[in-house]
Structures are given as C-alpha cells and as structure tokens.
Chains A and B, each alone.
Chain A
C-alpha cells in the first residue's frame, strides 16, 4: 500500500473512533473442565467460501462441502471406511446393523436398527429406504446419482426393519451402489409431489436424522447445526453446535482462522498454507485428496491426434518442477489414470522423464521441423500454436499455464494461455471447442474408468471430453466392470493404466493434497481422505 493511502486509513481511524463497546468471542463456549478426557459442549466455527444451495441431497449438484453438511444431518445405510488404498472400500454399520447377499448375489438384504428416529420422533423404517430409492430413480427429480441405481430394479420392504435390494446383475460395486445417497423422510417429504421437488424449499419442512440437526440458516451468512437430541447412533457428539460461516474471499478465510474468528477451514491454497505454518495456534492437516490435475489435449484436434506428439508434449513439460513451484510441496506428480492412493494403482508404471531431446525426436518423427528463421516448430508450413485454457478464478492453474508455456517454447511450440470464466470453461468441455485445457477431476472412492476413458458414444455425452478412443482400453474397461473379484480386476486395471500412459491422451500433472487448518485446541479429530468430518462425533475442545 502506498503511503498516501495510509493517510486515508489513519484519517478513518480518527473518524470512526466512536466505536461501540468491542468484544471478541472465544472460539467456543466450552463446559466446565472435568479432570480428564473429552468434555461435552462448545462449538466449532467453520469457514467456507460459498453457502449451501440446498440441504436436500437430491436437489444438489453434488458440491462436496454441501454434501459434507448433508452427511451430518442424514443417515446412510452403512458408513464407507477409509481403506480404499488396500481394496475396494469396506463398510461399517450405520442405519443398517447387518446385511447379506442371497446365494445368487442378486438380492441384498439390510437389517435396520429398530431405535432410529427422525427429528420429529417418527421412526426411521424400511419404508424410508424404499421411498429414498424411488426419489433417486425418479427422472423428474433428476438426481445426479440416478445412474448409480441402474442395476437395482426394486427395493422391497419386508418388514419395518428389513429391506431388500433386487439387482439385475452381479458386479463388484453392488454394496456401494445400494448405499449411495442419504435416506430421506418418507412421511415428511413424501407429501411433496415429485414434479414440485425442483422448486421446493425443504428447509421449512426439514426433518432429519443425523448426529446434528438444522438450528438456523441465514443465507450467505451463517448455517448453524446443533446436536440432535434424538440421535440414535453411537458415539453421540461432544460438540453442541457447528457453525458454518460464509467467507467468500479466500485470504480472509486464512486471516480469520489466524485471528481466532474461525476454528477450521479447508481447501486452503498452498501459498496460504505456507503462511499458516508459522501460527502456533493452528494445526495444518494434510492428506491426499482425490483431486488430480492434467493437461487435456483435444484428441479430435489434428494437432494432438498423434500419440507421438502428445508424448513429446509430456516429455517437454518439466512437470515435477512446475508442480513443486506452484504447489509448494502440497502435491505430487501424477503418473496415470488411477490415483496413486487407490488400491488399483499400478505401482510399476513409469513416470515419463523431462527429456527435451527425446521430445524433439518424437516431434521430428511426426513430421514437425524447427524453422530456421525463428526456431518455431512447423509442419507443412503451419506453426505449432495452441490455446491452453484455464478458469479465471484459479490462480494456481494460471501459474501452471505460464510455466507450461515457457517449457514448450523450448521445443518451438507457441502456447497461448487463455483465461476463461468458470462456467464457460466447463461448457467448452461439453461442446468440444477447445485446444487444450488445464482440468481437474475429483475421483470417487470407486475405481471405474468408464466415464473418462471409454470411447465417447455417438449418441450420449461422455466425461471423456477429450474424445480419447482406444478399442483395447474399451474392451478392458468393460471387463473390469464385470469382474467381481478385485484381485483379478486389479490385473485388468494394471494393463489399462499401461496402455493409457503409453497413449498419453492427457499429460498427467499432479495429485493434490487437501489442506485443512484447524485450531489446535480441538482434540480427537481424525481428518482423513473420506472426509474432514469423518469422526466429528468424537471432536471436543481441549484446555
């Protein structure tokens, strides 16, 4: 700030010295201390950049912060465990106490707790599970997760505490698909006709059944959850309240955490994390997220159709240096299409080196020559020039774009970094009108390569927006989806990863770490890759 503006600021101090009595709240109003162990009471104030748009999962676009809050209010049949590094995720009981498959594996029976109730005292029963299924499958409601239920034909109520899922086929992720989505109250929300769900505000008819329930919501300001006194699960939360505060400005989030206005923030940008590291009151928790970033080459574009060219582009980008420079050590170079933290990751995959000579050789093989006059790479008289798009709000990707531009310039390639408004950026993937993009996917805990790597079909859209197509990969992906034994499907996944790395349809850049900043006085928090609030029931305020 220039000296002149400090004058203004000083003048302001004089003008506004008529302050009201100031007081700052402590981080939590904790109950009196007991001798040892966890204490009940207090609140945790969580800062996040946007407000929830709904607390009804089936209206939601699947935003992860929104989902995390919904997860505290509504139960699932089972709780997914953070063990996907070793094998497909296992499950622990939640609303269901036990479950079993029929002989032919087509019928999955869940036995529900008999003491679970909604916040209005009505029992949670098999009827709620069946109602939730009809909601999930309804085309008018149009839940984004509708396809997860593709192979479940019916959900049958056997008795109030027994429910059967009927599958049309046997496949590895039957449990996960049955469990997908939170159970919603049939008696309260069943009164809203399905064609009215899109335009209904569910907050006034909020009935939930999680460890926390809605206390108040002041849009774009504060969402308060309080401990649900009718909660039936174990353990019961120690905390009285969770307060979610909307702070749209990212550096303000960090500042307010440091000032004690907030107790927890997540999704911290690496540079801000560096700043937080020096603060003795804040603990930085870092864990591998399931986000990975890559350069998406438009495989339809003649420029990128040749896999030798794509491989050369990868070899010509110093990925490790770029990732280290931009992420300050909070990300690792990515290798292939399966995250390195997943059970299905092929540990023998080679990380392509940074090798300009080899890159130049491959480009020459593909018919590209350096022009004598200016050193530009040309083929048939046309120079190698393309736009590299990234979303306007993302400074990290802007930095990556510039580093990639500098790296590829050494090969005579002209990269034009192109900043795009976020929604237009996403729309470009749908229309296919782009050269190259800096894109990020956040993977689920299921390993399914269909959406991104199978050839896009002629009729339906696909998340394979780069239009990568390899018949061998298509065949193997189909096989991997049919194979119920994960040790056998691992062999198939290993082979798919080898082929995709060979083809380099994209340049794999990084796997990002999730960075969470939390007040050190909060104890008992097990923040892991399943979610920040994984064991929120066990959090409490220390001395």
Chain B
C-alpha cells in the first residue's frame, strides 16, 4: 500500500512537471506577449521593449524556463505580470470562490442525479422514467451558458427573485456576519443551479444504468425474498453497489473545483479561477498561467489518487 502510494505520488509529480513544461512551451510559442497590452496610438513601440526587458522576455526561452522552474521547485510561483502581486496571492483569492461555487454545484449535481435515478427505477420503463430520461438527456445536452442565461432571464430579470451576478450585493460588500452570509447564499443560488442542472442529467443517466444492473442481481432478489420492501431493496441494497462508478466520476470532477467553469463565472460575474485564468491567457501573464496550471494538474492527480483510494475502501474486491 505504502509503496503503491509513493509510486503514484512520484508519477503524479512527473505529470505536474510535464504539464507545466508543455504549458510553458505553448505560451512561449503563442504569438504575442504581455506587451501587447500596450496598444495605444500615443505609445511608441519603445515602451514595449522596456516592458520586455522588465519582464525578462528579452532572455532566451531556455533561460526563462530554468529560472521559473528553479523558483517553482522552492514553492515560489513568482509575480503576476497583470496584477503586480504574487501569483500565490492572486490564486489564493480566486480559488476559494471557485471551490465554493463548483463544490456546491457538484453537490447539487450528485444529490440531484441520485434522486432522479432512484425515482426513475421505482418503476423502470414507466412514464415517469421516460419523462425523466428525456429531461436529463436534454439537460446533459444543453451548454451550461444556455442554462445560465435561461435562469438569468427567468429568475433575475423576468421575475427578479435572485440577483443576476456577483458574489455579494453592493450593500453586502460592507456588511459582516449573518447578513453577509445570507447575501452570499442568495447570490449563489442561480450559478449553483446552473452548474447542477447541467451535471445532474449525466449523473442520473449513469446511475440509472448501473442501478438497473444491480437491481437484477441475485442479492437484491434475496433481499426481497427476506421480506425487504421494494424501496428498501433498491435504496439499502442496490444503491450502495451502484454508487461505485460514481466515485470515479467525482474523482474526475475534483479538478473542476479548482479550475472552475469559465462560462458560468463569466455569465454570473463570479470572481473565480475560470475568469482569472482567462484574463491571464489573454494578457499572456506567463507566471500566473503556469501557477494556475500547476495547481489544476495537482488537482487532477490528487483526484485520481483519492478516487482509487476511495474505491479500495468502498469495494473490498479492489486491492492496491
């Protein structure tokens, strides 16, 4: 077990290094750099040259790569060129916002998906099952921004029940304690639902399949023979086994908690990683891009690792 863990962590580190290197190569090869932000008729190109010297962009890419890698190994991700602050500071501000939004969205997605699948299998192939299948396939197929814009139109503008954007209202910005928390929750509803709806359909479809498989298994029949109700046989006996593949799904979703959904963040003006990384890419803010990518890769590696560990715990047949 320990050897397995060490091997996986070692492989994970190599993966992080490879992704960071590939990102560096891509950004270096992409046309343009941070100095393209200087795009004013009054600004002479000499200003761009000064910026290139300041940001070290006049050095060969090999030198820049080694110098970044050397700092990164010691945990120093450098300064963001766009925000004039430490990369770690910029990320530390954006990540909690994204984890909050994406985490709640993921929770809704899973809870909603499980509920839908269980409801469907009360009467497989019945009317309710077919209706929910249609709905979940539709939700699965809809791009998140369509869901987001639909929600906005309906619940923020047509019937203004929820605020259309941001984490806090203007008044909430200066409040503290409970009023601030309530304001935040109020602002969370629409983006969380937008994320949840888009994912819910997928989870429901996935789970319905595995639940149907489990339902036909002999142990479920045995449970019913022992007098367990239809509902108990489904929820207490079949569901736990059907949930196993879900562990992988959740593990794979972990990076989403860190990298965020650009589309949902833009539609709802949510100051998370999606927006931060998009701005960084547009501005060619190399240190911030690299820092964010490293973090997202770590999340992918950790997600897979955790999923495997969880599998081993949940399913005694799996040995590490």
Partner-B contacts on A (CB < 8 A): 1, 4-9, 11-13, 15-16, 19-22, 24-25, 43, 45, 50, 53-54, 56, 59, 61-63, 139-140, 142-148, 198-202, 216, 218-222, 224, 243, 245-249, 252, 255-256, 259, 261, 421-424, 426-428, 430-431, 441-444, 446, 448, 451-452, 460-463
Contact = CB atoms under 8 A, between A and B. Distances in A.
B41 A442 contact: yes
A174 B30 CA distance: 41
Given A20-B186, A146-B47, A255-B164, A1 B40 contact: no
B170 A142 contact: no
B154 A248 contact: no
A444 B282 contact: no
A219 B272 CA distance: 10
A3 to B, nearest CB: 10
B114 to A, nearest CB: 14
A43 B170 contact: yes
Nearest 9 pairs of A and B residues by beta carbon: A461-B45, A427-B32, A220-B271, A142-B50, A423-B32, A61-B37, A426-B36, A424-B31, A199-B79
B45 A430 contact: yes
Nearest to B275: A220
B41 A221 contact: no
A63 B36 CA distance: 12
A155 to B, nearest CB: 21
A11 B135 contact: yes
B173 A216 contact: yes
Nearest to A464: B45
Given A45-B170, A198-B84, A423-B32, A219 B150 contact: no
Nearest to B190: A16
Interface stretch (B139-147, B202-210, B307-315): B139-147
B16 interface: no
A255 B284 CA distance: 31
A9 B150 contact: yes
Given A8-B138, A142-B54, A199-B84, 13 more contacts: A7-B135, A8-B142, A12-B197, A22-B186, A199-B85, A219-B93, A220-B271, A222-B166, A245-B165, A252-B152, A255-B157, A422-B282, A461-B44
A423 B34 CA distance: 8
B42 A444 contact: yes
Nearest to B201: A8
A198 B167 CA distance: 30
Contacts of B237: none
Contact of B160 (A8, A22, A218, A427): A22
Interface centre among B84, B150, B193 (most CB of A within 10 A): B84
Contact of B269 (A4, A24, A247, A463): A247
Interface in B172-197: 173-174, 182, 185-186, 189, 193, 197
A12 B47 contact: no
A54 B193 contact: no
Contacts of B51: 142
A59 B186 CA distance: 37
B291 to A, nearest CB: 14
A255 B174 CA distance: 25
B224 interface: no
A50 B169 CA distance: 18
Given A9-B150, A45-B170, A451-B44, A53 B84 contact: yes
A21 B156 CA distance: 14
Given A13-B154, A427-B31, A461-B49, A25 B42 contact: no
A11, A12, A20 pick with most chain B CB within 10 angstroms: A12
B50 A146 contact: yes
B166 A8 contact: no
A43 B174 CA distance: 14
By CB atoms of chain A within 10 A, which of B48, B83, B165, B282 has the most? B165
A461 B275 contact: no
B161 interface: yes
Interface string B233-272: 0000000000000000000000000000000001101010
A15 B96 CA distance: 26
A492 B47 CA distance: 29
Interface string B92-123: 01100000000000000000100000000000
Contacts of B37: 61, 63
B155 interface: yes
A255 B197 CA distance: 23
A64 B189 CA distance: 34
B73 interface: no
A519 B146 CA distance: 29
Contact of A5 (B32, B45, B142, B170): B142
Contact of B170 (A59, A245, A255): A245
Contact of A8 (B39, B49, B168, B197): B197
A9 B153 CA distance: 10
Given A5-B150, A245-B269, A221 B168 contact: yes
B35 to A, nearest CB: 9
B276 interface: yes
26 contacts: A1-B146, A8-B150, A9-B150, A12-B151, A12-B155, A16-B155, A21-B182, A25-B169, A56-B84, A62-B38, A62-B42, A140-B54, A142-B51, A144-B40, A198-B54, A199-B84, A219-B90, A220-B275, A222-B166, A248-B266, A252-B267, A426-B36, A430-B45, A442-B40, A452-B41, A460-B44
Contacts of A15: 112, 193
A218 B175 CA distance: 13
B41 A444 contact: yes
B171 interface: yes
B32, B155, B169 — which one has the most chain A CB atoms within 10 A of its CB? B32
Given A61-B38, A461-B49, A5 B138 contact: yes
A54 B82 CA distance: 9
Contact of A252 (B112, B161, B165): B165
